[in-house]
Structure 1
Amino acid sequence: MANQFVCCLLLLIAATSTNAQFITHSGIQGGVAAPSGARSYVVSVKGSGESIICGGALYNDVTVITVASCLVFLNPEKLLVGVNNGTKTVKVVAHLSHPDYGFYTTEHDVALLKLAESVSAEYVKLPSKTPVTGSAGIVTGWDANNSLVDVSETIIARADCVSGKYDYDDDDVLASNVCGLADNKACNAVAGVPLVSDNQLVGLLSWGAACANDKNPAVFTDAFAEKSWIESNVNSL
């Protein structure tokens, strides 16, 4: 529990000291350039200053799946979503965070955004099963130049993440989480960037206790655990 508390405390300090804006991201370190024209399901969530606050994934032509922690200190209806690697910017007209999202625990860290207009891009599919330890995935986000980069991840099921092999316990990684280790120890991705495996959305980056440390995998919102909530609410925005 202490790990999430520290992350949330830092987020609170950042928000109150920067007029409710997150710390400007320094960009992913250790990623490799995403294939040209690929990963158009990845979107950036921006504040009024056009800086990237969080990431997200396109579920359909008007719906973004992101993390609820991205919306805590901000007016979601003033946010902008960058699609097709920022070549198009769309306003947000509706939003919904999971009703059981816990600020201090980061439990159920998932939210939906409805775009003001339809966008043409790739869309993610929700997973058909619980993530399995050892599966390969890709996290896609932005480097310091706001270029899309990929980070190869080894997925770790929640039960294995709290088994004692890593520095997490049952109070840190919850039933709505899955973990991932960056194969090349890359770090500094913003919250909400998607973890995809076999063309399915495995998770959304929620938090992490350390960078480039094999004892501290990144913690993602488990898309399979939230699948029912997403599917039952996506058409009600």
Structure 2
Amino acid sequence: MAKHRRRDRKFRLALTAAIAAAAFLPVAAVAMPSSGARPNIVGGTEASIGSYPYAVYLTDKNGNQFCGGVLVSSTAVATAAHCAKAVQRSDLRVVAGRQDKRTNDGKVVPVREVWVPDSFSDPGKGDDVAVLKLAQSLPYRPVNLPADDSPYAEGTQATVLGWGRTADGGARSDYLRKADVPVVSDAGCGASYSNYDSRSMVCAGYPQGQVDACQGDSGGPLVVGDTLIGLVSWGDGCARPGKPGVYTRVLTYAGEIRSEAESSRLVFW
């Protein structure tokens, strides 16, 4: 498996040979902080899909999970733009209501339309957001979108959710996992990444590292309570000191996400 790298940053995904370098590895779990002790994985604790019913993951037509996502309405999922572009729309599937990937719980639905900003070209340049419009309605509670910038205050505890790798270069998780990470100030994130853009990005993580998203977490949700503030986008390695995770700043795109979600409503004649 080969990781994508652009200068000093590593995108949170890895190409799989099985699908000819087109789809990405599953979401990696993230680690909870510990007092002096190294976390047993980079991945925190198992999470209940009942507590986070809006957490979903993406697969190709063969069931290979490669990214995460989040329900923003019964017929729309927000994810990272680089996830939406990883496979053809006709091969893209959303899996919802499934805590353990080894089961057949929940629902698997195709995607009938994809919205990506025209300005997107590279996660490290921002605008890494997409809306997937579903072919069927899902019976799970969607996430809330932010109304203002209050959840982005430095030190705010946010929760990141994902299914995949349990360490940088490690094995993937079969279960949905979660971990808490503090929001980093724009100045702090800018000190870590010269290409940081406060309009389109937000960082979260601890100075000492240990807690982070990782390869395959791309597109998964960063929430404060049940409000979506970020989508896993990119970073330098996983859980490295001084290198917090970089997320798409959802507030910047909340209006477009709402508009695209509303246009995704299924009409029956």
- Provide structure 2 residue ranges, at least 5 long, that are not aligned to the other structure: 1-5, 30-41, 165-171, 265-269
Aligned to 1:129: 148
Aligned to 1:57: 70
* Shift in CA distance, 26/84, structure 1 to aligned 2, threshold 3 Å: closer
* Shift in CA distance, 17/121, structure 1 to aligned 2, threshold 3 Å: closer
Aligned to 2:116: 97
Aligned to 2:211: 185
Aligned to 1:21: 22
Q: Distance in 2 between matches of 1:16 and 1:184?
A: 29
- Report the CA distance between 1:23 and its aligned residue: 4.2
**2:177 aligned counterpart, secondary structure:** strand
Equivalent residue letter for 1:66: T
Aligned to 1:34: 47
**2:82 aligned counterpart, secondary structure:** helix
Q: Distance in 1 between matches of 2:198 and 2:18?
A: 30
**2:155 aligned counterpart, secondary structure:** coil
User: Identity, % of aligned pairs?
Assistant: 27
- Report the CA distance between 1:122 and its aligned residue: 1.7
Aligned to 1:3: 8
Per the normalisation by structure 1, the TM-score is 0.86
Question: Is the Cα–Cα contact under 8 Å of residues 181 and 214 in structure 1 kept in the other structure?
Answer: no
Aligned to 1:70: 83
Greater relative contact order (Cα < 8 A, sep 6+):
2
Q: Distance in 1 between matches of 2:18 and 2:97?
A: 31
**2:257 aligned counterpart, secondary structure:** helix
Question: Is the Cα–Cα contact under 8 Å of residues 109 and 135 in structure 2 kept in the other structure?
Answer: yes
**2:188 aligned counterpart, secondary structure:** helix
* Shift in CA distance, 230/159, structure 1 to aligned 2, threshold 3 Å: farther
Query: Per-residue displacement from partner, 1:80-109 (whole Å, max 9, x unpaired)?
Result: 100002621111111111111122634110
Query: Per-residue displacement from partner, 1:55-101 (whole Å, max 9, x unpaired)?
Result: 11101100001111112242123211000026211111111111111
- Report the CA distance between 1:34 and its aligned residue: 0.8
Q: Distance in 1 between matches of 2:66 and 2:242?
A: 27
Matched, 1:149 2:162: no
**Moved beyond 6 Å, runs of 4+:** none
Question: Is the Cα–Cα contact under 8 Å of residues 45 and 52 in structure 1 kept in the other structure?
Answer: yes
Q: Distance in 2 between matches of 1:231 and 1:138?
A: 22
Matched, 1:225 2:232: no
Q: Distance in 2 between matches of 1:51 and 1:107?
A: 26
Equivalent residue letter for 1:133: E
Aligned to 1:110: 129
Q: CA RMSD in A?
A: 2.5
Question: Is the Cα–Cα contact under 8 Å of residues 107 and 174 in structure 1 kept in the other structure?
Answer: no
**2:124 aligned counterpart, secondary structure:** coil
